Amino acid sequence: MRLTAGETRIEVSFWFVAVPAILLNVTPGLDPLICFCFCILHEIGHLAAMYVFGCAPEKIEFGYFGMRIDEGAAMLKTSYEVLTAAAGPAVSLTLAAVLYLYGFRYAAGVNAALGLFNLLPVPMLDMGRIITALTGGGVVLRRVGTAVCVALTAAGAALAVYSRRNFTLLAVSLYLLSGTLRGRE
């Protein structure tokens, strides 16, 4: 489904609905749905920062791993790009602290994991965007990102074997590894 809001194209993929539905059938409980909702809030943090800095996104895509914001040709100043990239983890870590204070330990843990995960030096994640904005990224970031993704894939495979049902980390790490190897940011 494709919509337009002002200058921003909005695309909702079949996978945006299918992946949570599949995860809800594979993983007992509402855990995948809760994680998915917190991922959307994380992305809304980026979106809000973009609007604060006067940059409307060219496209917002709702896909298999949540929401992805494409700035298009619009370039933010380096400081704005860094703050926009940091806004997502800031939202996640703030939610983690607030939820923890109110006794929602599981939800706090999900947000803390999401915020910290996005601070890994992988080109497709928020820290990769920050490093790219500050240094131009390059070969070193891609090599470090590849090493991190390989380690995450190994951890995801071990978790999948150990738990016999939790394939989320494995799926996400393979997606990140594929994007890093293809040079996607």
Residue-wise DSSP of 123-153 = TTSHHHHHHHHHH---HHHHHHHHHHHHHHH
Both tokens of 130, joined, read 């920050």
Residue 113 lies in a domain: yes
Determine the longest span between alpha carbons in the chain, in angstroms: 48
Tell me which range, 59-68, 146-155, 170-179, is most confidently predicted by mean pLDDT: 146-155
Domain count, the chain: 2
Q: Which residues pair with 10 in a beta bridge?
A: 3, 60
Query: In angstroms, how far is CA 48 from the centroid of its own chain?
Result: 15
The pLDDT value recorded for residue 185 is: 57
- Residue 62, both tokens: 């709702």
Query: Is the whole model's pTM more than 0.85, yes or no?
Result: no
The residue segments making up the domain with residue 171 are: 129-185
Q: How far apart are CA 89 and CA 117, in angstroms?
A: 9
What's the whole-number mean pLDDT along residues 159-176? 84
Q: Is the pLDDT of residue 156 over 80?
A: yes
What is the rounded CA–CA span in Å between residue 89 and residue 66?
15
Does residue 124 lie in a domain region? no
* Same domain assignment for residues 114 and 142: no
Query: Residue 149 falls within a domain, yes or no?
Result: yes
Q: How does pLDDT run across 58-92, given as a tens digit for each residue?
A: 888 887 666 777 776 566 788 888 999 999 999 99
- Whether residues 88 and 146 fall in one domain: no
Decide which of 119, 153, 171 is a domain's last residue: 119
